Each structure stands twice: as C-alpha cells, then as structure tokens.
Amino acid sequence: MFDYNPYEALQGLKPVEAFSLVSSDVRGDGALDRAQVGSSHRGLDRSPQLSWTGFPAETRSFAVTCFDPDAPSASGWWHWAVVNLAATQTSLPTDAGAASGDNLPEGALMLLNDDRERRYSGPTPPPGTGVHRYFFVVHALDVPHVDVSTDAALATLGMQLFFHGLGRGILVGTASGD
C-alpha cells in the first residue's frame, strides 16, 4: 500500500474543516464488502450508504466522490462522482450510484467515472497490485451548484472542489488486487 493521500496534500495547499462521514456499509480503513466491489471481482457494484454531520455552517451544497490513489496510473482512478446535492442533504442510501440515477435526490448530477460510465463503479484492483485504498469523500461547498459538464474530466471537477471547498468528510475502505 502506498502512503500518498491526495486529501492531505490538498489540505497543505488550502486547509478545510474536517467533518464526520460514516457508513453502515463501509468500516473505516477496512476491507469493502462484496456489495461495494466491482462485478469483475464477483461484487455487486453498489455504492455504500453514507451519512455526514458537523459540516461548516456556510455549506451551500455537497459533492460525493470515490477515488483510488493506488491505481497503477499517475492520476489514480475515479470510481464515482456526484455533485449538486442540496445543503440539506445529509445522507445517501446504499446504491445511490446506480446507473439509473433513481436513488439520487432531485437535482443531483452524476458525472462520468474513469470507466466512462455514469454510475458507481466498484473497486476492481488489477492482479498483482496489492491493497488499494478507496477514499469516499463528501465535500462541503460554498456554492449551491457546481458548474461542470456531465462529460467533464474528473480533474475539472477536482478544481471546482478545491476552489469551492469548505470542508470534507473522509471514509476509507480497501480492496486487494492479489
């Protein structure tokens, strides 16, 4: 497992408040359940239930992302991204990342992941790459809507999250490529 934590690096550039993020489906720093793992690893590709509290009072919206910094690429791998969740939204149900989008609240926008699919794509670490970490992050933002195309590169979203971020809740799960 690598030591790179993209959110620690960003906090060094722009400090933001930390807040609580919990899940009935993900045990912090533990192996992800079969339901959250990708289908090519005999999983179900179901995004985990997430709940958050303690975010900054100035929050105007939220975004949710799932990122693997341990993927064998210089840019990691984005598994899921949702933006424009209302500031009153403090949880998402299991499988909110279904391709249909039916489990997302009204107004939420799911972006293309690095598989070029508009859904949660469960972890499928390549053989021989060891244990990967999956950062499930809720970003508290200072704008009511993130101005980003549904087909935008997730690096574009990352810039929006950086410039509009007020805080983040982070939960990390793992999966093995061995």
CATH number of the domain enclosing 110: 3.90.280.10
How many structural domains compose the chain? 1
Q: 125 lies in a domain?
A: yes
pTM for the whole thing?
Answer: 0.93
Of 119, 55, 120, nearest to 89 (Cα)? Answer: 55
Question: Which letter does DSSP use for residue 37 in this model?
Answer: S
Q: 68 lies in a domain?
A: yes
Per residue in 90-139, pLDDT (tens digit) is 999 999 999 999 999 999 999 999 999 999 999 989 889 889 999 999 99
Burial class (CB in 10 A: 0-12, 13-18, 19+), 131: middle
Q: 1 lies in a domain?
A: no
3-state secondary structure of 176: strand
